[in-house]
């Protein structure tokens, strides 16, 4: 056993709570952990499914291998295990195949869109085909010229009464669809968002099913130009694509018509709120965060914490043996708040998912009243959690020093995929501002109406100050929740008053809004952090678990909150809730917590339960055997295939020979 493995074993002996119990809580119950492990075993024990070491693969190799694994999963594993695209196991399938799969947009977006936009008849036609990969679809909304401002989309679907067809057309290059996943090379159908035009009148963006490739040859159909958009920061196994329509005709029936319909004679019939056409985005914002972003942070934490416990460098006490870098307070401050963030954002995301599921149920009963709150919360959470987690992953990467910069650590690859979450499903700033719009409206209503749900805390607008007078008081969840609620409502109040002041002084609404938008983004950060802290505190409060697990979760909650108090102390001071002395106490409480949590560090990340296969990290594997893994990995570099690289002979040979001749005294150096 290596010295590093021994160190990690010793660390595990220090952990004072049951890691398995914490894993069960994190997963949402013992049964969930069991299901997760069953799926994990089915995938792990199948050599065709196992993750390959992707750190040295090209994009094409990763794409090809991703497609091979996806098809193996669909053809062999799903039937063998009795799973399908809608099974309750799908989340765990996703978790356990790592991120190296294809057809994610087909499965995760195209198929659910058919369900939410299609009539019963359309669902019966398209869904079985899609679920069995007999058609492969993409979600084609974003264009070269517009992604955010959907009312500005330029692809048009003009209704032709005579033939009862829609003519899909891109009037200029900027109207070309750009970015949709699985579209570049895989899809033969697309769910296309296009502006409906009937008799010259525009009816806004609507979803259509359009066949884009021939089902025999896979060649683009007439009028279609389609391909891959090229290499990106991450998402190597996804063929994000471009798609241009030149007057492509599709039958009237291909308008997915659950929400609105065009009759044969061209009569337009709206059946529900027009914003339901944005429903697929709300769904994805509400459900993808945990699996795509929080889990990425959890993996990066696992790697960085394990590595920091075995990486020994420098003396803490002069003349004494070198210590693990985790012993440095600065290192604890770099790592442990992100472990806490993983727990905090994980529980908040689970709650958001539940809220979405309840909403979906209510929609079936015709009740859409929850949409504004859900839209605001999912937009705010998507922006804030994606930003916090991906910033965190970068800090964790740097905390691993030189090895963090190598793909061998796994962290660069984890970050490259997760950071896309700040852009897709609504660019983050734009999403912050959508949530801000709702919060300002709520603030303006609170003068006359009582608020409910996630904004109920705005009902109490009384002035007060925090009572804390010693660092230890900051460990209490109720104290922390009160801090965040106070800060959030005061910053909302302040910016809402500024907007009202500007409009009273003659600024049009849109100008007042733009002038305040920097503060509005901060308002949403305050509101969402409040939501995360309050959710975490209430989850812990409702838990029945062993005292050591409860203690460590309370410490995680306090650490997440205190890190945010120290980061945003300006806000807490400005709104007058904390004094400078109390800000010092908050920092003291945070530093005390770091020391308290230090012996439990490895247990806290082991509880996330990421297998070595999923981490793909030489420095973060369970056994801590860092150096041997790094050396084995480096040997596999494509540049090491031959002892002397071909390019050396091609370009460097004359210089080498000149050097040899000089050193052997055959010629003289000319300088
Ligand atoms: C079968 C085989 C199996 C094989 C196995 C395979 C294995 C794979 C398995 C599973 C796969 C699952 C994997 C999933 C992996 C996922 C990875 C992630 C992939 C990422 C994919 C990305 C996709 C995309 O990005 S799609 C494009 C997203 N685009 C956007 O989000 C655009 C953003 N823009 C907007 O949303 C809007 O335009 C806007 C909100 C910015 C502005 O809209 P506008 O109409 O102008 O509205 P506005 O004037 O501002 O407001 C008017 C009122 O409307 C309200 N409102 C706005 N939006 C909404 C909404 N969505 N809902 C409700 N209400 C809304 C707004 O608040 C205003 O209200 P008010 O009352 O008037 O104030
Ligand atoms: C990995 C990945 C996968 C994707 N998959 C898909 C897919 O499957 N299907 C699909 O249709 N699309 C997909 N997209 C596209 C994605 O949804 C858009 O890129 C995203 O919505 C952002 O839009 P944009 O590119 O137009 O950004 P822009 O809006 O051009 O953003 C540029 C800048 O302008 C700012 N800005 C824009 N509008 C405002 C405003 N109103 N107020 C303040 N600031 C503003 C933004 O904050 C940003 O700083 C994907 C993108 C990525 C990166």
Bridge pairing between strands 268-270 and 312-315: unpaired
Is residue 167 pLDDT above 80, yes or no?
yes
Contact 266, 199 (CB under 8 A): yes
Ligand 2 centroid – CA 215 distance (Å) = 31
With 0-12 CB in 10 A as exposed, 13-18 as middle and 19+ as buried, what is 644? exposed
Contact 536, 344 (CB under 8 A): yes
CA distances to 297, 361, 535, 559, 582 from 351, rounded to whole Å, are 18, 15, 8, 20, 31
Cα 237 to chain center, whole Å?
16
- Residue 96's pLDDT is 86
Angle CA 222–224–229, to nearest 5:
150
Residue that the structure tokens 């409206």 belong to: 441
% residues pLDDT > 90 (the chain): 95
Q: Which ligand is nearest to the CA of 104?
A: 1
pTM score above 0.95 = yes
Q: Average of pLDDT values for 562-578?
A: 98
371 with 273: CB under 8 angstroms?
yes
| Contact predicate 224/244, CB 8 Å | yes
Q: Which one from 165, 425, 490, 590 is the annotated catalytic residue? A: 425
Q: What is the pLDDT of residue 103?
A: 96
Q: And the tokens for 393? A: 């992953």
In degrees, rounded to 5, the angle at the alpha carbon of residue 39 between the alpha carbons of residues 285 and 341 is: 45
- ipTM over cut 0.95: yes
Averaged pLDDT score across all residues of the chain: 96
Which single residue is written with the structure tokens 């020093």? 401
Q: Calculate mean pLDDT across residues 278-295.
A: 95
Q: Quick check: CB of 108 below 6 Å from ligand 1?
A: yes
What percent of the residues of the chain are helix, what percent strand, and what percent coil, each to the nearest 5? Answer: 60, 10, 30
**What's the chain's length in residues?**
671
Element (H, E) at 602: helix 601-606
Q: Is 282 in the pocket of ligand 1 (CB under 6 A)?
A: yes
The answer, yes or no, to whether any atom of ligand 1 lies below 6 A from the CB of 94, is yes
| Residue 182 alpha carbon, nearest atom of ligand 2 | 8
Identify the CA nearest to 287 among candidates 30, 91, 107, 131.
Answer: 91
Distance CA 273, CA 77 (A): 41
Q: Give the contacts of 500 (CB within 8 A, at least 6 positions apart).
A: 444
Q: Is the pLDDT of residue 272 over 90?
A: no
Note the maximum CA span of the chain: 96
- β-sheet with 177-178: strand ranges across: 177-178, 241-245, 224-228
Nearest-CA residue for atom 25 of ligand 2: 147
The yes-or-no verdict on residue 42 having pLDDT over 80 is yes
Q: Supply the pLDDT for residue 306.
A: 98
Mean pLDDT of 603-622: 96
- State the Cα–Cα distance between residues 546 and 569, nearest whole angstrom: 34
For residues 24 and 322, is the Cβ–Cβ distance under 8 A? no
Burial class (CB in 10 A: 0-12, 13-18, 19+), 70: buried
Pair of tokens at residue 336:
């442990």
Going by C-alpha positions, the residue among 185, 187, 179, 64 that lies closest to residue 136 is 187
What is the band of 59 on the pLDDT scale with cuts at 50, 70, 90?
A: very high
**What is the band of 331 on the pLDDT scale with cuts at 50, 70, 90?**
very high
Q: How many Å apart are CA 343 and CA 337, to the nearest integer?
A: 10
What is the average per-residue pLDDT within 480-485? 98
Sorted by sequence, the CB contacts under 8 Å of residue 188 that are 6+ apart come out as 135, 136, 137, 211, 212, 213, 214, 215, 218
Would you say 345 is a known binding-site residue? Answer: no
Nearest to 486, CA basis, from 360, 572, 415: 572
Q: Report the distance separating Cα 306 and Cα 626, nearest Å.
A: 10
Query: Is the four-CA dihedral 441, 445, 446, 450 of positive or negative sign?
Result: negative
Handedness of CA 34, 38, 44, 50 (dihedral sign): negative
- pLDDT at residue number 50: 81
pLDDT at position 41 is 93
CB contact at 8 A, 607 and 549: no
pLDDT tens track for 494-544: 999 999 999 999 999 999 999 999 999 999 999 999 999 999 999 999 999
Compute, in angstroms, the gap from residue 428 CA to the centroid of ligand 2.
8
Minimum-distance ligand 1 atom for the alpha carbon of 108: 12
The answer to whether residue 48 is catalytic is no
- The CA 378 to ligand 1 mean position distance, Å, reads 10
pLDDT digits (tens, 9 = 90+) for 220-258: 999 999 999 999 999 999 999 999 999 999 999 999 999
Helix axes 477-504, 547-567, angle to 10 degrees: 30
pLDDT exceeds 80 at position 85:
no
Mean pLDDT of 82-100: 87
Q: pLDDT tens digits for 575-596?
A: 999 999 999 999 999 999 999 9
Q: Give the closest ligand to the alpha carbon of residue 133.
A: 1
How many Cβ atoms sit within 10 Å of the Cβ of residue 472?
A: 12
Domains of the chain plus CATH, in order, are: 135-271 (2.40.110.10), 277-621 (1.20.140.10)
pLDDT at residue 472 above 90?
yes
In this structure, which residue's CA is closest to atom 36 in ligand 2? 430
Ligand 1 pocket check for 107: Cβ under 6 Å: yes
Please tell me the predicted confidence (pLDDT) of residue 608: 98
| 120 alpha carbon – ligand 2 mean position (Å) | 32
* Interval 330-349 mean pLDDT: 98
- Listed in sequence order, the residues at least 6 apart from 33 whose beta carbon sits closer than 8 Å to its beta carbon are 20, 23, 24, 27, 609
Spell out the long-range contacts of 440-443 with Cβ–Cβ below 8 A and sequence spacing 24 or more.
440/492, 440/495, 440/496, 440/499, 440/520, 440/523, 442/492, 443/489, 443/492, 443/493, 443/496
Of 264, 263, 401, 378, the C-alpha closest to 328 is: 401
Q: Is 181 annotated as a binding residue?
A: yes
Tell me what the mean pLDDT of segment 71-94 comes to: 90
Per-residue pLDDT tens digits for 403-462: 999 999 999 999 999 999 999 999 999 999 999 999 999 999 998 999 999 999 999 988
């Amino acid at each position: 056993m290596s010295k590093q493995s021994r160190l990690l074993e010793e660390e595990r002996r220090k952990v004072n709570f049951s890691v398995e119990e914490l894993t069960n809580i994190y997963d949402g119950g013992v049964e969930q952990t069991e299901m997760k492990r069953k799926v994990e075993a089915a995938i792990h024990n199948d050599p065709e499914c196992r993750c390959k070491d992707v750190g040295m693969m090209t994009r094409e190799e990763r794409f090809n291998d991703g497609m091979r694994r996806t098809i193996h999963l669909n053809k062999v594993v799903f039937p063998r295990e009795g799973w399908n695209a809608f099974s309750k196991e799908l989340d765990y399938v996703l978790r356990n195949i790592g991120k190296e799969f294809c057809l994610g947009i087909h499965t995760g977006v195209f198929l659910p869109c058919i369900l939410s936009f299609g009539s019963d008849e359309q669902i019966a036609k398209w869904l079985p085909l899609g679920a069995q990969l007999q058609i492969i679809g993409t979600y084609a909304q974003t264009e070269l010229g517009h992604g955010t401002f959907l009312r500005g989309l330029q692809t048009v679907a003009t209704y032709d009464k005579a033939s009862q067809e829609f003519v899909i057309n891109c009037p200029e290059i900027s109207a070309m669809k750009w970015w949709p996943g699985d579209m570049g090379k895989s899809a033969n159908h697309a769910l296309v968002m296009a502006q409906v035009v009937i008799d010259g009148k525009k009816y806004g963006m609507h979803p259509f099913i359009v066949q884009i490739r021939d089902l025999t040859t896979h060649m683009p159909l007439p009028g279609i130009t389609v391909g891959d958009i090229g290499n990106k920061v991450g998402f190597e196994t996804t063929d994000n694509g471009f798609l241009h329509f030149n007057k492509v005709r599709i039958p009237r029936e291909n308008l997915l018509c659950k929400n609105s319909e065009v009759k044969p004679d061209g009569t337009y019939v709206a059946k529900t709120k027009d914003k339901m056409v944005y429903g697929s985005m709300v769904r994805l914002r509400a459900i993808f965060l945990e699996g795509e972003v929080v889990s990425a942070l959890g993996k990066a934490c696992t790697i960085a914490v394990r590595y920091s416990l075995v990486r020994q460098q420098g003396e803490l006490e002069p003349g004494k043996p070198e210590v693990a870098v985790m012993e440095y307070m600065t290192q604890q401050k770099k790592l442990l708040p992100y472990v806490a963030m993983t727990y905090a954002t994980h529980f908040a995301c689970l709650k958001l998912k539940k809220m979405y599921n309840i909403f979906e149920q209510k929609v079936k009963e015709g009740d859409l009243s929850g949409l504004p709150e859900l839209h605001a919360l999912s937009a705010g959470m998507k922006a804030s959690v994606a930003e916090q987690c991906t910033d965190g992953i970068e800090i964790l990467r740097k905390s691993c020093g030189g090895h963090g910069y190598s793909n061998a650590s796994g962290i660069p690859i984890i970050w490259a995929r997760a950071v896309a979450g700040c852009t897709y499903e609504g660019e983050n700033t734009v999403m912050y501002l959508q949530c801000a719009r709702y919060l300002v409206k709520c603030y303006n209503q609170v003068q006359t109406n009582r608020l409910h749900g996630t904004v109920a805390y705005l009902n109490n607008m009384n002035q007060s100050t925090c009572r804390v007078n010693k660092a230890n008081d900051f460990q209490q969840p109720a104290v922390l929740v009160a801090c965040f609620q106070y800060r959030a409502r005061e910053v909302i109040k302040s910016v809402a008053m500024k907007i009202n002041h500007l409009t009273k002084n003659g600024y049009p609404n849109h100008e007042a809004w733009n002038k305040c938008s920097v503060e509005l983004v901060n308002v949403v950060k305050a509101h969402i952090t409040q939501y995360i802290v309050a959710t975490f505190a209430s989850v812990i409060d409702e838990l029945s678990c062993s005292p050591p697990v409860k203690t460590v979760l309370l410490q995680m909650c306090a650490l997440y909150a205190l890190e945010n108090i120290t980061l945003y102390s300006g806000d807490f001071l400005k709104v007058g809730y904390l004094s400078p002395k109390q800000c010092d106490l908050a920092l003291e409480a945070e530093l005390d917590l770091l020391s308290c949590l230090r012996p439990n560090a490895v247990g806290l990340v082991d509880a996330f339960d990421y297998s070595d296969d999923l981490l793909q990290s030489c420095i973060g594997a369970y056994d801590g055997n860092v150096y041997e893994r790094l050396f084995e990995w480096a040997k596999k570099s494509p540049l090491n295939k031959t002892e002397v690289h071909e390019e050396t002979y091609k370009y460097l040979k004359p210089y080498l020979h000149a050097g040899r001749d000089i050193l052997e005294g055959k010629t003289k150096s000319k300088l």
